Structure 1
Amino acid sequence: METLQFKKIHTRLVQLTKATCTLEATGVGNEEMAFVDGKSAQIVKINGRLVTLQVFEGTEGIKTDAEVIFLGKAPSLKVSDELGGRFFNAYGQPIDGKYVPQGKEVEIGGPSINPVRRKQPFDLIETGIAGIDLNNTLLAGQKIPFFTDTDQPYNAVIALVALRSNADRIILGGIGLSNDDYLYFKNLFVNADMPEKIIGFINTTDNPTLERLLIPDMALAAAEHFAIEKNEKVLVLLTDMTMYCDALSIVSNRMDQIPSKDSMPGSLYSDLARIYERSVQLHSGGSITIISVTTISEGDITHAIPDNTGYITEGQLFLRRDTEIGKVIIDPFRSLSRLKQLVIGKQTREDHPQVMNAAIRLYADAANAKTKLENGFDLSDYDKRTLKFAKEYAQQLLAIDINVNITKMLDIAWTLFRLNFQPEELGIRKKYIDQYWEKAAKVDEEDTMTDENMNPANTSFKQRNKIEAKWQ
C-alpha cells in the first residue's frame, strides 16, 4: 500500500452524498487518488479550494470529521512482462493469489496516442466467425462493440473471438461481471494454449460499483505498454460498457449534475470517446484493437449508451437469436464494420466483396418473402428459394458456433448459391462466376464443424466445447 507517512491529513468534510464527499484543500490535482476514512477515493471535481472526491466503496459510515489523505498521484499500474497470465482488481492488485508484479509505474487514464504516431489500420483479424469475417471483417487497431440483449451469450462470443484471433496479447477488462462469468473467463483463459499472453482486470458484482470506472483505463494502460514498448498486436476486451456508463451516471447524479438523455451524464460522449480513441495502429507494427460489449435493454438502439457508442466506434456487431435455426447469429442487417473495405478482396480472396454483397441481398429478399408469407400472400418460386437459402446461410455461415477460415466461408457461400439460384440471379461479375461456380465444392454442415477445418489461430477442440456449452 502507498506509504502515508508525511502526508497532510484533512479532517473536515463540508458535504457528503452517497458516492462523493467535498472538502477544502489545495495543492491537489484532477484524478488524484486519496483515502477517505480508509476508503479509496479519487478527485472528480476541483472548484477553487473545494475538492470533490468519488468514494469507490460509498460514503456509508463516513463522518464529517473523517481523515482524508491525498496520495499525490493518479491511479497507476506497474507494467512489465510479469503481468502476463495474471488477474487483477480495479487498482491493479493481484486477485489470483500470486505475487505482486514489478515494473515501470505508469498513470492510467492518459491521453490517446498522438495522431502523428498513428497509421491507418491494415492488418486483418480473422475470427473464424463468418458473421464477422465474411460480412463485417475486423482490422487490428479498430474499435468496435457488440450490441446485444442481456440474454445473449456475449461473453462466450468475445472469448471465442479472442482465442481464435492472431493477437500477441489479450487483455480482458471485466466490468460488473457475475462471479460465474469471472470464473468462466478465468478457467477458459488459464487453460488456453498460451495463458501467459492473457491479462485480466476484473470488477465483479461483489465489488464496489464505482470501481468499474477504473477497469477500462487499467486494461488500456497495460495495452499501451505492450503495443508501444513491445510492438505487439494487443486485443482489449471490455465487457460490459453499459455497467461502466451506469457507474458514470451514479457519480453524476450524486454530484447533482443535470442529467442528459436516459439519465446519463452530459459528458457521456467524451467519457466513452476517451476510452475508444485509444485504439491505434502504430507505424512500428504494434496495435490496440478494442472489442467491447454494450448490452441493450429490450433492443432499444436509441438509448444514450449505444447511440453515443455508435458515433465513436467504427461500426458495431449485433447479436441476436435466429428462431428459424435456434442459434445465435451476427445479424447481417444491423451489423457494420466501417473499415472492412480496406482488406476484403485485398488480403482476402478477390471474390469476397461480390460474394458478401450477393449473400446479404439474397438474405434481404428472404426477409421480404417471409413478410409476404406472414401476411398471407402467395410466394413465387424465387421467394421459396430465397427462404431456403436464408435458412442454410444462417445455419452454415451466420451462426456463431461455425469455425472456418475465410476461404472456406467463400466456398460455402458459392455452394449455397449453386444449390438455390441461377448464376444470373446473383448479380456477381461474370469473371467470378466463370472462376468459382463450377469449382464450388458441396460442403455439408457436419464438415464445417469438424476440427480439421480449424486454422492454427483458432481454439483447440476442447476449448471450443467449453465455449459452446456456455451459449447453449
Structure 2
Amino acid sequence: MATKAFQKIYTKITQITKATCSLKATGVGFDELATVNGKLAQVVKIMGDEVTLQIFEGTEGIPSNAEVVFMGKAPTIKVSDQLAGRFFNAFGDPIDGGPEIEGTEVEIGGPSVNPVRRKQPSELIATGIAGIDLNNTLVSGQKIPFFADPDQPFNEVMANVALRAETDKIILGGMGMTNDDYLYFKHVFSNAGALDRIVCFMNTTEDPAVERLLIPDMALTSAEYFAVEKDERVLVLLTDMTSYADALAIVSNRMDQIPSKDSMPGSLYSDLAKIYEKAVQFPSGGSITIIAVTTLSGGDITHAVPDNTGYITEGQLFLRRDSDVGKVIVDPFRSLSRLKQLVIGKKTRKDHPQVMNAAVRLYADASNAKTKRENGFDLTNYDERTISFADEYSENLLAIDVNLNTTEMLDEAWTLFGKYFRPEEVNIRHDLVEEFWKESKE
C-alpha cells in the first residue's frame, strides 16, 4: 500500500499486547484505519496523545520499531447502484472477480436514524414461508432474529427468504461462513437469476475472525444507501450473529477487558443494539428490515447472545426439527413477531387473525394429545383428529420448504379445518366460516 504525502508515519511503539499496540501520536481520530508493519489496524482508544490500535490479524511478528501509517479515515465503502449483484469481503473489496465499485465513499457504522424521522411500520414483508407469513408475519422496518441450533439448515432458510421476499434489495452479511456456505449462496443466487437485487458481504472461516466485526456495518451502510437515496425496501440478512459475538469476545479478551456473562464483553448489549437499531421504516417509503441468524449452543436460549438479542429485537423466529414429519419447521409456540398485528387482516385477507389463532390452538391440543399418548392414556376421537391435523399442518404449512402466498396459506388452513373438524370445534367467527368454510369443501 503506497503511502501518500499527507499520511502520518510513526516508528516507535510503546506497548504491544496480543491484539493491540500503543504509541504516542497526534491528530488521529477514533475508528481511524492504519497499517502496522503492513497489517491493517484500527484506532480503538485515545488517551491524550496515547493511541491504541487494534490489529486485525493479531500482533505476532510486529517489532517495537514497526512502521505505523495512519490513513486519515475510518473504514468506508463506496455506494452506488453498482453494488447490486456483487460479492465483497469485510473491507468492501470485490471477491467475485468483478471490477472495483465506483460511487460515493461513505464511512460505515454511522448513527441510527433519529426516531422523529421514522414512521410506524405498516407494510407486509412476505417471505413465502408459511411458518413466518401465517403465524409470525414480518413488517417492513422490523428487526427479528432466527434462533437455530448449529446443525439446522438456517443458511438454506436465509437463501429461500432472499429469493422469495417481496422487497427491492436483499443484502446478505455472512460472518464465519465455511467456503461451502459462501459457494452455496453464490450458486443459489446465480442460478435463480436473482443476483441483480442481491448484495453480499462475506467473511469466511479462512479470514481473520475480527474482520467479522466490519460485516454488519458494511451491509447496513449499503442498505441505507438504497433505502434513503433510492426509497427502496431493503431486507438485510445477517448470519451468524453468534460468530459476530465470538469475534467481539476475542477482541475484548486480547485487550484484557474483564469478560461478562458467558465470556462475552460487557458491551455486548450495545454492540448488538447498534446493529439492530438500524432497522427503520422511512416516511418516504424506503425501509430497512433485519433478519439475523443467532445459533444456539446446545439449544441454550439463556446464553448471553440470544438473551441480549431478545431484549433488542421485536420477537424471534425459532427453528426446530419436527420428528413426527421429519422436517424443520418454524415453531409456532416459541416464535413471535411483536409487530404482526400491524398488518394481519389489514394487508392480508380479513380471516388471517382468526385462522392463525385457531390453527395454533388446535396444534396445541394435538401437543397435549401426544403427551397423553406417550403417558399411556386413551385418546378421544377429537385427540386423534388433532394429531392428524397437526402432522398435516406441520408438513403443509410450518415446514420451511413450503412456498405459498398468504392467500394460499389461508386456503390451505381452511382445507385442513374442513378435513378434520366441525365448524364449532374450530371456534372461528360465524361470518368468516360462512364465507370461507365452503371453499375448503370443494
| Distance in 2, Cα, partners of 1:423 & 1:172 | 44
Deviation at 1:121, TM superposition (A): 1.0
After superposing the two structures, state which structure 1 stretch, 257-266 or 2-11, moved more: 2-11
| Distance in 2, Cα, partners of 1:14 & 1:380 | 78
- Indicate conservation of the 8 Å contact 1:412/1:441, yes or no: no
Q: Structure 1: which 5+ residue stretches go unaligned?
A: 443-472
**What residue in structure 2 maps to residue 351 of structure 1?**
351
**What residue in structure 2 maps to residue 136 of structure 1?**
136
Deviation at 1:192, TM superposition (A): 2.8
Deviation at 1:194, TM superposition (A): 3.6
Q: Secondary structure at the match of 1:95?
A: coil
**What residue in structure 2 maps to residue 375 of structure 1?**
375
The TM-score with structure 2 as length reference comes to 0.98
- Indicate conservation of the 8 Å contact 1:20/1:251, yes or no: no
1:44-193 to 2 correspondences below 5 Å: 44-193=44-193
| Distance in 2, Cα, partners of 1:26 & 1:372 | 72
RMSD in angstroms over aligned alpha carbons?
1.2
Deviation at 1:2, TM superposition (A): 7.1
Q: Secondary structure at the match of 2:127?
A: coil
1:186 is matched by which residue type in structure 2?
Answer: K
2:81 is matched by which residue type in structure 1?
Answer: D
- Indicate conservation of the 8 Å contact 2:171/2:199, yes or no: yes
Q: Secondary structure at the match of 1:439?
A: helix
Deviation at 1:94, TM superposition (A): 0.9
Deviation at 1:306, TM superposition (A): 0.4
1:433 is matched by which residue type in structure 2?
Answer: V
1:67-466 to 2 correspondences below 5 Å: 67-441=67-441
Q: Secondary structure at the match of 1:171?
A: strand
| Distance in 1, Cα, partners of 2:249 & 2:137 | 33
- Indicate conservation of the 8 Å contact 1:328/1:400, yes or no: yes
- Indicate conservation of the 8 Å contact 1:143/1:279, yes or no: yes
| Distance in 2, Cα, partners of 1:171 & 1:316 | 20
- Indicate conservation of the 8 Å contact 2:8/2:71, yes or no: no
- Indicate conservation of the 8 Å contact 1:2/1:71, yes or no: no
- Indicate conservation of the 8 Å contact 2:242/2:294, yes or no: yes
Deviations along 1:104-132, one digit per CA (max 9) or x if unpaired, are: 00000000111122111111111111100
Q: Secondary structure at the match of 1:437?
A: helix
Deviation at 1:247, TM superposition (A): 0.5
- Indicate conservation of the 8 Å contact 2:82/2:101, yes or no: yes
| Distance in 2, Cα, partners of 1:365 & 1:66 | 69
Q: Structure 2: which 5+ residue stretches go unaligned?
A: none
2:412 is matched by which residue type in structure 1?
Answer: I
Deviation at 1:69, TM superposition (A): 1.2
- Indicate conservation of the 8 Å contact 2:418/2:441, yes or no: no
Q: Secondary structure at the match of 2:311?
A: helix
CA shift in 2, pair 1:2/1:284, >3 Å: farther
**What residue in structure 2 maps to residue 32 of structure 1?**
32
2:270 is matched by which residue type in structure 1?
Answer: S
1:201 is matched by which residue type in structure 2?
Answer: F
Deviation at 1:25, TM superposition (A): 2.0
Deviation at 1:420, TM superposition (A): 1.3
After superposing the two structures, state which structure 1 stretch, 5-14 or 247-256, moved more: 5-14
**What residue in structure 2 maps to residue 455 of structure 1?**
none
Deviations along 1:196-247, one digit per CA (max 9) or x if unpaired, are: 2111111100001110000000011111011100111111111111100000
2:68 is matched by which residue type in structure 1?
Answer: V
After superposing the two structures, state which structure 1 stretch, 323-332 or 417-426, moved more: 417-426
| Distance in 1, Cα, partners of 2:313 & 2:2 | 37
Q: Secondary structure at the match of 2:30?
A: coil
Q: Secondary structure at the match of 1:440?
A: helix
2:424 is matched by which residue type in structure 1?
Answer: E
Deviation at 1:274, TM superposition (A): 0.4
After superposing the two structures, state which structure 1 stretch, 5-14 or 240-249, moved more: 5-14
Deviations along 1:70-97, one digit per CA (max 9) or x if unpaired, are: 1111100011111111111111111111
Q: Secondary structure at the match of 1:15?
A: strand
Q: Are 2:44 and 1:21 equivalent residues in the alignment?
A: no
Q: Secondary structure at the match of 2:440?
A: coil
